[in-house]
Structure 1
Amino acid sequence: MAPNPSPNLVEMRRLSFGYGERLILDDITLAIPRGKVTALMGASGGGKTTVLRLIGGQIKAQKGLMLFDGQDITPMTQAQLYAARRRMGMLFQYGALFADLDVFENVAFPLREHSDLPEALIRDVVLMKLNAVGLRGARDLKPSDLSGGMARRVALARAVALDPELVMYDEPFAGLDPISLGTAARLIRQLNDTMGLTSLFVSHDLEQTFAIADQVIILANGKIATQGTPDEVRHSTDPLVVQYVNALPDGPVHFHYPGPSVVRDFGAEVVA
């Protein structure tokens, strides 16, 4: 790491990405500050998960820069990319635990894969991470024995097992009951602060997101509709942001999918 690192751990500079003729991200510029919790929000299909995949190098930018700690991810060799990924943790949607491994072995997996730690130290690290998410006592359970909220917490322990600098969360609140959802939100905030992490998460839950995020970025139509503190986003006058924050059924994102006129489909007599 440089002696005077940038205040931003992740940056996209005039980045574009799409599939064929369909442009998902169109010339966007954004920054993820070190040590902060940043939320990515917006309507489904707006490119939120695409941002996570670009940062992790699963897909490559077609234009612009995708910077992680000042280094462009796009031209990296496989060895360079793997080295960068070891500094990242990822919590996949619904956890994505290995079904045939117990809780302990799920959390130990990245340690065995990416380190040469002795077994005794792996044991201590795994138990410490499980203790941090309140599940040290569940070490011998299989994923099938866990509730949805517990599985998400085990996945979080696995995501931070290697003490990454950046942790990315893909919809960490999806499908959780109110108690589990609140627990997951508090853990994201607490682990970020106690471990000195930088956190980036995708979410549709306005209440929990605004409660824990330092910065909120709302994506729409391949662009950044707004970004700022939760309070700044909440009071935005942008019509799309107003519709999203207030859960309005119609606005820039239309309720009706474009199609033939009502008169054409049903006839003037029916419409009258």
Structure 2
Amino acid sequence: MAPQHTVSTVSDAPLVELRDVSCGYGDRVILERVNLRVPRGKVLALIGTSGGGKTTVLRLLGRQIKPISGQVLFDGQDLAGLNQDQLYAVRRRMGMLFQFGALFTDLSVFENVAFPLREHTRLPEAMIRDLVLMKLNAVGLRGSRDLMPSEVSGGMARRVALARAIALDPDLVLYDEPFAGLDPISLGVAARLIRDLNDALGLTSIIVSHDLHETFAIADQVAMIANGRVVAQGTPEELRRSEDPLVQQFVGAQPDGPVHFHQPAVPVAEDFGVGGQR
């Protein structure tokens, strides 16, 4: 029997890929030769120490910033080479849930979710109404359509923001600290919604989060970024079993390790004048 060969298809290709990407702000390099692949239909969590470059990855994907070198690919397209019209077309295929929701405070819950539909489509109002109510129903807030952001809780605001993020039926949804500041019940609801909507709508999701318990529970893959590089990537269980000291310290919430509790300083005896004059 002749050997069988697997034929690569478009669907096999990652939706998002970073190839040898270096970037920074001014003279400060944040990411250095980073490689990252995000499979279609999966949930990828980005974890790591504060200031390590996780949110920078999200900014690269929205082309708010460009890499110094390397390629940032979305569905096979190098974002750096897109003109303004092409970039806007790509951005319409992305949804963004900002930290703390970032709702428009002077618009109702309904109008917040309707905003991207009115901004980017020419759909009739009757259809916009139906779509908004469908998205709000998906996050359990159809009955809160007429409330203002000041009248909803933090957890509800995050769910409204999620409904807005999926209003245009994007291929990719980016989450910047979606669990920050939530009580345990709201946090659990938000995490379950991210996973359920990802699967039900065929989305691809990238989550930046420090909440490892909830993030590991819903993520297919986890990538840890530290010192400007991806130092570990795999399933949540693979990262839990990692023998890398930095991964162990972060996942185990250890106060000391490769990331030191004490910052560099002169010797204690010198600072406090022990054994001599100050």
1:132 aligns with 2:163: no
State the secondary structure of the residue aligned to 2:15.
strand
Letter in 2 for 1:81: L
Q: 2:163 aligns with which of 157, 161, 165?
A: 157
Alignment RMSD (CA, Å): 1.3
Does structure 2 retain, via aligned residues, the 8 Å contact 1:6–1:70? no
Letter in 1 for 2:49: A
1:56 aligns with 2:62: yes
After superposition, what is the alpha-carbon deviation per residue over 1:192-222, rounded to whole angstroms, capped at 9, x for unaligned?
Answer: 0000000101011111011000000000000
In structure 2, the partner of 1:224 is 230
- CA–CA distance in structure 2, aligned partners of residues 262 and 123 of structure 1: 66
In structure 1, the partner of 2:119 is 113
Letter in 2 for 1:166: L
Letter in 1 for 2:135: K
1:166 aligns with 2:176: no
In structure 1, the partner of 2:271 is 265
Q: 1:100 aligns with which of 106, 125, 128?
A: 106
Distance change in 2, residues 1:167/1:235 (3 Å): same
- CA–CA distance in structure 2, aligned partners of residues 258 and 79 of structure 1: 49
- CA–CA distance in structure 2, aligned partners of residues 35 and 269 of structure 1: 64
In structure 2, the partner of 1:71 is 77
In structure 2, the partner of 1:177 is 183
In structure 2, the partner of 1:30 is 36
In structure 1, the partner of 2:5 is none
Letter in 2 for 1:108: A
**Which of 1 and 2 has greater Rg?**
2
Does structure 2 retain, via aligned residues, the 8 Å contact 1:14–1:29? yes
Does structure 1 retain, via aligned residues, the 8 Å contact 2:53–2:228? yes
State the secondary structure of the residue aligned to 1:232.
helix
Which segment drifts farther, 72-81 or 131-140? 72-81
1:145 aligns with 2:151: yes
Distance change in 2, residues 1:6/1:70 (3 Å): farther
Letter in 2 for 1:228: G
- Give the gaps of 5 or more residues in structure 2: 1-7
Question: Identity, % of aligned pairs?
Answer: 70
Deviation at residue 21 of structure 1 after TM alignment: 2.3
Deviation at residue 82 of structure 1 after TM alignment: 0.5
After superposition, what is the alpha-carbon deviation per residue over 1:28-48, rounded to whole angstroms, capped at 9, x for unaligned?
Answer: 100111000000000100100
Distance change in 2, residues 1:74/1:6 (3 Å): farther
- CA–CA distance in structure 2, aligned partners of residues 6 and 77 of structure 1: 27
Deviation at residue 267 of structure 1 after TM alignment: 2.2
* Deviating 4+ runs (over 4 angstroms): none
Letter in 1 for 2:105: A
- CA–CA distance in structure 1, aligned partners of residues 125 and 270 of structure 2: 71
Does structure 2 retain, via aligned residues, the 8 Å contact 1:6–1:69? no
- CA–CA distance in structure 2, aligned partners of residues 232 and 204 of structure 1: 18
- CA–CA distance in structure 2, aligned partners of residues 183 and 103 of structure 1: 18
- CA–CA distance in structure 1, aligned partners of residues 265 and 81 of structure 2: 42
In structure 1, the partner of 2:214 is 208
Letter in 2 for 1:4: V
Instruction: Return the TM-score normalized by structure 1.
Output: 0.97
Does structure 1 retain, via aligned residues, the 8 Å contact 2:11–2:40? no
